[in-house]
Amino acid sequence: MAFSRKKIFSREDSYGVVALILYIMITVLIFFPLVANFRNSTLIPSFGVTSALQGGRDKYHFMWNFWWMRTAILSGQNMLYTHNLFAPYGVSLALQTMDYIDGFISWPFSLILGGNIAGFNFIILLGIVLSGYTAFLLARHLTKSWIASFGAGLIYAYFPQHISQAIFGHPNLSSIEWLPAYLLALMIAFERRKMAFAVVAGIFLTLSTLTDLQLLVISLVITLVYLIYHLVITKFSSPVKVLYLIMTVFAVWFLTSAPYLVPAYEALGVVHPPPPLSTTLGNSAKPMYYIIPPPSYLVYGTIFSQVYSSQSPFLQPILGGHSQWMIFVGYTTLALAAIGALISKDRRRIFFVGLAFGAYLLSLGPSADPSQLSIQTPYDLLYYHFKIVEYFRADARFSILLMLCLAMLAAYGIDAISKLTSVFGTSLNVRRTKIVGIILLILILLEFIPIINVQSYHEDPVYSIIAKDPTQFSVLELPSSLTQTQLAIYAQTFYGKPLVNGKISQARNTLPDYMYVQLYLRILSRPNKASLGRLKLNQISEPVSEFQLAPIVLSYYHIKYIIVHYKAMTKVSFEILYEALSRGLGPPVYRDRNVLLFELKNWVSPSAITEIAQKGPIVLFGSSKWSPERARQWTMNNTADLIVYAATPALYTVTLGSTSPFCVDNLNWTAQGTMCGNYDPSSLVGSDQIFLGSGENVLSISLLGSPSSQISSIQVAPS
């Protein structure tokens, strides 16, 4: 039985392949500095940051995400929780910006292309190519014109907000190819009343969800506006069929997304509270920047660079994330979109005009004062009454949806202009139409060509030393700045041991609480003269100095290696840190031009601690429920543990400077029961007597009548 070539591969399909190849070629040409050193270099911003490293640090966060997904799957661990960050307690990843889809796609390519950086770069460029291609497919469905559709793909692939997210290392926001794919499947499902396309739409909605929850929100906006448009345009005919279709979309979506959505929803407000209003306002779009090219673009960049400087009055208050600045829509795109909206006869343009206006409105974010009537008032009704809306912290990213609409309207515009030019002339009309179309495509692309800079990454030999150590331990990297921590979590992918540092989406903390309450660790986390002075206040009665306690504290938390990136520190901080580490651990075991490596050579045994405790009980914080409050006190919530090492068994007095009365229970000696002693509310000091055995004792401190208390001092002494 012979098959027709036309049925297997039509001319229309071949045009689609040509479009895909052209998007690949254009992307390679624009990003050639990256392609030339694909395995060891990454994109970095060319403006708006104090350093190239700081501006591009989020990429390391995503490289760790992709690595962790592979590690968790291969080792049978839960992807939504890790003990590899904030060791030893770990942290929930339910609301981590994981980008699961790109993580899975990058897996084989990281192996094939030779490492995490190559796999990450592949994802970044793939998102640009596929975004152009899926926009091309959507526009071809609307216009049936190859050149108009290709122009729409150019706009959607290379508009500044998209490229800026790629440059700043956000694959979750540069992989926006699922939005036009979802809209295309949704439109076909409703136009043809085909349940199969509703299933496909549900799958694409899941792909958006598992890439980034912000893309889910954008997709829901698309769905709502399209449903309203479809019902109005069809005069509410066949509402039952419409209901079946939309229920199919969301049923497929929920069934395939639930393993991630349910724990993410449960974590709302628990793991991550919503960002403050100031952050949302800072990350909202400034209308004028829609029509002002960013300075990192080839054609107009230098002309408007002053408008983007930190001294610019237009950036007051300054936008939150630098990548949010670049929302320029392009003059050619805007003109073509206007022509398409006015001239095209396709009534679907009404949907894109309405959706574009809605996206623009949402991008402005909520108003600072909702009591005043403004253009943002409709959004205020959502933002101030539905808490989940508060989690969309960067409203300028709705410009992604705006650009999708403008790309489709521009496709209508290119198609309309092409049809107008073909009316004039006879034998040359086809050639003239192609020339006009090519000129329009060139104008679109010229406005969107960015200046590309790359930065090479070279693994420090210190990580090879750690990787060769077969024992179980944790690693601490200092300083604990956000920039250095993001590099630290990427470095963890080389040695695979738990890291004391951590970085979770939308959270600024980079170290667990115990780093700020244990006396010795506090000087490591805050190496300055003030913190050293506070350590000498001796808030916990100890028979030895904090430097003599260093091996005990590090052994308790199983911290064996401490890496110091001294070039990232001030001279004073480094000198204090170096003194503390040298006195506690001895001289560094490795040094180069970038780092110092300190090693706890031997774990301190319980018997050795008991010998040290001959001078008096040694007290350590035993749980993460202690948190730093101010210079001289901590906060304790409900119950918290103390680890007390005593040399001889006896009755001891536990004295706490506390804003609440408390009870003490020795968990090692449960038979004796909880002891509740005296509390003086005038001096805010309480004391209880408790029996301590020889060696380690775990004391549980329970508050009476208060959910939290400020602890200013702790003393344990023989009665």
Three-state secondary structure along 625-650?
Answer: CEEEEECCEEEEECEEEEEEEECCCE
Mean pLDDT (whole number) for 536-541: 52
Q: What is the pLDDT of residue 615?
A: 85
Q: What is the pLDDT of residue 424?
A: 53
Mean pLDDT (whole number) for 600-624: 87
Mean pLDDT (whole number) for 15-42: 95
Count CA atoms within 13 Å of residue 346 on its CB side.
Answer: 21
- What's the angle, vertex CA 255, arms to CA 249 and CA 256, rounded to 5? 90
Among 448, 374, 544, 359, CA closest to 131: 448
Kindly report each contact of residues 222-225 with a partner whose C-beta sits within 8 Å and lies 24 or more positions away, as own/partner: 222/179, 222/182, 222/183, 222/186, 222/355, 222/401, 223/186, 223/249, 225/351, 225/354, 225/355, 225/358
CA distance 321 to 286: 13
Residues 142, 348 contacting (CB under 8 angstroms): yes
Is the predicted pLDDT of residue 459 greater than 80, yes or no?
A: yes
| Model confidence band, residue 110 (pLDDT cutoffs 50, 70, 90) | very high
pLDDT digits (tens, 9 = 90+) for 374-415: 899 889 988 888 877 888 878 999 999 999 999 999 999 999
Is the predicted pLDDT of residue 13 greater than 90, yes or no?
A: no
Is the predicted pLDDT of residue 427 greater than 70, yes or no?
A: no
Among 129, 76, 75, CA closest to 105: 129
| Model confidence band, residue 311 (pLDDT cutoffs 50, 70, 90) | low
b (16+ CB within 10 A) / e for 570-597: eeebbebbbebbeebbeebebeeeebbb
Helices (H), 424-480: 429-447, 461-467
Q: Check whether the bond before 275 is cis (ω within 30° of 0).
A: no
Residues 408, 142 contacting (CB under 8 angstroms): yes
Q: What is the pLDDT of residue 61?
A: 93
Give the fold, CATH level 3, of 616-718.
Answer: Jelly Rolls (2.60.120)
Strand ranges (E), 7-147: 41-44, 81-82, 91-92
CA distance 477 to 562: 6
Is the predicted pLDDT of residue 322 greater than 90, yes or no?
A: no
Domain ranges of the chain: 8-176+274-447, 177-273, 461-604, 616-718
User: Which residue has better confidence, 432 or 23?
Assistant: 23
Q: List Cα–Cα distances, 126 to 21, 323, 431, 598, in angstroms.
A: 12, 19, 33, 41
Q: Which of 233-247, 384-398, 427-441, 522-536 has the lowest mean pLDDT?
A: 522-536
Residues 121, 230 contacting (CB under 8 angstroms): no
Residues 233, 347 contacting (CB under 8 angstroms): yes
The residue count for the chain:
719
Is the predicted pLDDT of residue 432 greater than 80, yes or no?
A: no
Among 677, 690, 671, CA closest to 619: 690
Residues 292, 307 contacting (CB under 8 angstroms): yes
Residues 618, 682 contacting (CB under 8 angstroms): no
How many other C-beta atoms can be found within 10 angstroms of the C-beta atom of residue 353? 17
Q: What is the pLDDT of residue 536?
A: 44
518 burial via Cβ count (<10 Å: 0-12, 13-18, 19+): buried
Is the predicted pLDDT of residue 297 greater than 60, yes or no?
A: yes
pLDDT digits (tens, 9 = 90+) for 467-490: 999 999 999 999 999 999 999 999
669: its two tokens:
């000696």
Among 260, 274, 166, 167, CA closest to 507: 274
Is the predicted pLDDT of residue 583 greater than 80, yes or no?
A: yes
Mean pLDDT of the chain: 88
Please provide residue 559's backbone torsions phi and psi, each rounded to the nearest 5 degrees: -90, 115
Q: What is the pLDDT of residue 532?
A: 52
626: its two tokens:
């202690």
Q: What is the pLDDT of residue 326?
A: 87
Is the predicted pLDDT of residue 539 greater than 80, yes or no?
A: no
Is the predicted pLDDT of residue 256 greater than 90, yes or no?
A: yes
Q: What is the pLDDT of residue 702?
A: 87
State CA 341 to chain mean position distance.
Answer: 36
User: Which residue has better confidence, 493 or 50?
Assistant: 493
Sign of the Cα torsion 301, 395, 220, 228 reads negative
